[in-house]
Amino acid sequence: MLPELASDRELEEQVAAVRAFNRLWTEVMEVLDAGLLRTPYSLTEARVIYDLAQVDRTDLLDLRRRLGLDPSYLSRIVGRFKADGLVETGPSPRDARRQVVRLTGRGREVFRMLDERSAAENRALLSRFTPEDRRRLVAAMSTIRDIVEHAPPPPRCLVRPLRPGDLGWVVQRHGALYAEEYGWDASFEALVARIVADYAERRREGRDEAWIAELEGEPVGCVFCVEKDRDTAQLRLLLVEPRARGLGIGRRLVDECVRFARTAGYRRIVLWTNDVLVSARRIYQAAGFRLLEEERHHSFGHDLVGQTWALELRPA
């Protein structure tokens, strides 16, 4: 047992080291601000633009598979790009039942802008170091890339809209997980049930939405985006199953929620959480949310510190 315990401790130390590095690198590169490289495009949208810029045209199905995106999510991105004049679509010359997509001249201008800003930011980063430190940094990056590229691929995560039966899963998993991990009583599950019922009864198309994350066909996470007032969206019920943590699923769910709120025309998005939910708070911070206020309260059988966070989506 002793070697196994030592191995467990070593793994936890390694996990902590990787998380610390990720936090540092996120701060250095600032890629998770409201727009990537100070543009209107999210990280996922920029990935789509970069991929399309490498070819003259591509099949939408192939694009989805390369990027590992949910079909409806990619469809919305392409629809927005098409409305903005960045892409054009049409039937495949090989199979008229399938669609191909290509960047327009305007789309390639946006790609060049993203590419130039990315190069400039990385050039500015490297210029902070001595030539010797730059060589060490790039060598370390090469080592990381070599190890990661030869590792087995991680399981594919699918983020999709709700289906019948999902709402019951959301309530049940919140109640079970928060009781197990934080000792919260049944009043928390009752609160989640009310939130879910309100969503189901009052949902307005284009103003409220919710998503489920799946691994291998099984739900492992969720998040809701609902209207708080005309200008404000509210992120609610973010959850990721323990077995699916560390795969970036929480960040994908939050990114989807923020993207929807921005597309729906909200000026800001807010959320309420508690300070004991450390992992969730890190995700919110990385996505650009800022802490507005804190207040002590007694809920779910515990003394807690509630927190309100907000992210501005566009100027008032």
Q: pTM above the 0.75 mark? A: no
- Residue 82 CB-density burial (10 A; 0-12 exposed, 13-18 middle, 19+ buried): middle
Q: Which of 149, 179, 207 is the last residue of a domain?
A: 149
> Percent of the chain having pLDDT more than 90?
63
* C-alpha gyration radius of the chain: 21
* Same structural domain, 168 and 302: yes
**Which stretches in the chain have pLDDT values below 50?**
1-5, 31-35
Domain co-membership, 178 together with 284: yes
Which domain CATH number covers 120? 1.10.10.10
- CB-based contact 244:253 (threshold 8 Å): no
Inside any domain, residue 165: yes
Residue 3: the pLDDT is 43
Distance, CA of 247 to CA of 76 (rounded, Å): 24
240, HSE (Cβ side, Cα atoms, 13 Å): 20
Q: 212 lies in a domain? A: yes
pLDDT at residue 123, as a whole number: 87
Question: Is 31 within the bounds of a domain?
Answer: no
Print the domain residue range for 68. 36-149
Query: Does 293 reside within a domain?
Result: yes
Q: Are residues 81 and 192 in the same domain?
A: no
Domain final residue pick, 118, 149, 180: 149
Whether residues 120 and 222 share a domain: the answer is no
**Residue 14 resides in a domain:** no
Q: 113 with 205, same domain?
A: no
Q: Are residues 303 and 163 in the same domain?
A: yes
Last-in-domain residue among 130, 149, 168? 149
Q: What pLDDT score does 155 carry?
A: 73
Q: Look at residue 1 and tell me if it is in a domain.
A: no
Q: Which two tokens stand for residue 286?
A: 């990385």
Pairing relation of β-strands 268-274 and 232-240? parallel
Mean pLDDT, the chain, rounded, equals 89
